[in-house]
A and B are shown apart, each in its own frame.
Chain A
Amino acid sequence: MRRLVRLVVLAALAVWAWRLLLARRELQERAGVSYADGSSLVLEPGTTGFERLAAVARSALRR
């Protein structure tokens, strides 16, 4: 029983740490586009638009 509790606690800690790490990474990454008509878009990681712009930006940062 004690082993099981320890395992559950460890699993919960691992999930919490993973989510914290993921959230931090997501907060750091974003893309924004403004247009001539005054409108703008904010793209979050995981969307197709963001991944497209991020690929171009990564290549620019490597160059």
Chain B
Amino acid sequence: MDVAQALSELTELSSQVERAVVLDADGSVLGSTLDDGAAAERLAEAARELLAAASELRTSGDEVTRAEVELSEGAFFVLREGGRTIAATTGPKPTAGLVAYDLRTCLHGLGEAEKPKRKRTTRKAKEEAAD
């Protein structure tokens, strides 16, 4: 599944997600729900900042897999899995578990490689090949 398709499914699935952006392992933007590229880059920058700030809370240096901040004006979620990161904003009082589940589902969708389609050979084609 490509990034645009996964993000489209995310916004269809979750009524709470307002804006979302997907980042590659190196932090570059792979796709977003925003039409404005500069706005997507700013959201990505915030996601990178949040991960860095969350990482600094621990001296052990363990990788941050999820960071969420719920404020009275809205919430900001960042999830990291399989080298990819997804960040999303919601309105106030989101159902945090549900939003995180939807974001994780989106990341899993991206990780799924498209299965190669089997070519079905008909008996006639086999006979022709044998001849």
What is A's interface to B at a CB cutoff of 8 Å? 25, 28-37, 39-41, 43, 49, 52-54, 56-61, 63
Are A58 and B73 in contact, with the CB atoms below 8 A? yes
In this complex, the interface size class of chain B, counting residues with CB under 8 Å from chain A, is 20 to 34
How many Cβ-Cβ contacts under 8 Å join chain A to chain B? Answer: 87
Q: Is B53 an interface residue (CB 8 A)?
A: yes
Q: Which residues of A contact B87 (CB under 8 A)?
A: 60
Q: B46 to A59, Cβ gap below 8 A?
A: yes
Tell me, rounded to whole Å, the shortest Cβ–Cβ distance linking B129 to chain A: 52
Given A34-B64, A49-B57, A53-B67: A61 touches B74 (CB 8 Å cut-off) = yes
Q: B30 near A: Cβ within 8 Å?
A: no
8 Å CB contacts to A: which residues of B46-99?
A: 46-47, 49-50, 53-54, 57-58, 60, 62-76, 87, 89, 92-93, 96
B42 — which chain A residues lie within 8 A by C-beta?
63
- Considering the complex, give the chain B residue whose CB is closest to the CB of A40: B66
Given A28-B93, A59-B46, A60-B76 in contact, is the A54-B57 Cβ separation under 8 Å? no
Q: Which of B49, B53, B66, B71 contacts A61 (CB 8 A)?
A: B71
Residues 100-131 of chain B, each 1 if its beta carbon lies under 8 Å from chain A, else 0? 00000000000000000000000000000000
Contacts of B93 in A (CB 8 A): 28
Docked-complex contact A58 and B71, CB < 8 angstroms: yes
Given contacts A30-B70, A41-B57, A59-B46, whether A35 and B63 have CB atoms under 8 Å apart is yes
Chain B residues with CB under 8 Å of A41's CB are 57-58
Q: Are the C-beta atoms of B64 and A33 separated by less than 8 Å?
A: yes
What is the minimal beta-carbon distance from B107 to any residue of chain A, in angstroms? 14
